[in-house]
Amino acid sequence: MSAAEIDGFADRIRQHRGGMISAWIGIPDATLANHLAQEAFDAVVLDMQHGMWDMPSAANAVAQVRLAGKPALARIPVGDFASASRLLDAGASGIIAPMINSAEDAQAFIKTTKYPPLGERSWGPSLALNHTGLSADDYLKNANALTVAIAMIETRAALEAIDDILGVAGIDGIFIGPSDLSIALSNGDQVAPNAAEIDSAMQHAVSRCRSHGKFACAFAGDGERAGELLKFGFDLVIAGAETAQLRSGARRAINAARRIASA
């Protein structure tokens, strides 16, 4: 995939061109990111909130994912908007910001991820220029369109303020964190990301996104759940974290070996 095709990710997701499936990686290893990017994922997300990535390893992984022909996105730690602009400078195609609970939170997020007139992103995209092949002037003119700013909806307050959040200029879409949302909606009683109440909330979120002309993304624990969420109308879903996929693959290999050896 060419740089132009990789950087066409933002247009594809904004235009709802079929459900996309992304890898999700918390282990801070750029080689692992490159390996998963070789599979039929549409993108790779680096989880810097609960994963172990730091800025140098994340920037290296962005390059490795792009080298494999895929767009890289990153979920930043809560409130770490300074890292958001640095990741875009490194060539990330989008930023997922957790715990965006109000229009004010969304505006603070956009301030560092979009150039004027939408935000106040500081200039310094040296690696992004290398990756995209654009001149400085062309990058400045096109960066807001080439990258996406995604607000996470994962609390009761965020769900109640979803229209206000989606109404902020520069917010391209939302990402539902169903585990945190289930904790919030149950007042801390349970982690139940696949509960009926969460299904209802997620379908409501998709509906609100459509009303605002924005896209919707969500985390799913496995491929089956990811397929269900695509049927709900989500534009991009996660089909499980790399740790779960790694352990599941190891378990299948071990069980197969034991089964054949004992036959």
The tokens of 201 are what?
């909330």
Work out whether the CA dihedral 185, 100, 41, 10 comes out positive or negative. positive
Q: Which residues lie closer than 8 Å to 117 by C-beta, 6 or more apart? A: none
DSSP string across 106-153: HHHHHHHHS-TTT--PPS--HHHHHHH---HHHHHHHHHHHSEEEEEE
Catalytically active residues, by annotation: 50
- CB of 73 closer than 8 Å to CB of 129: no
Place of tokens 């490159």: 34
21 φ, ψ (degrees, to nearest 5): -125, 130
The number of C-alpha atoms within 13 Å of 76 and in the hemisphere containing its C-beta is 26
Question: How would you write 61-86 as a 3-class SS string?
Answer: HHHHHHHCCCCEEEECCCCCHHHHHH
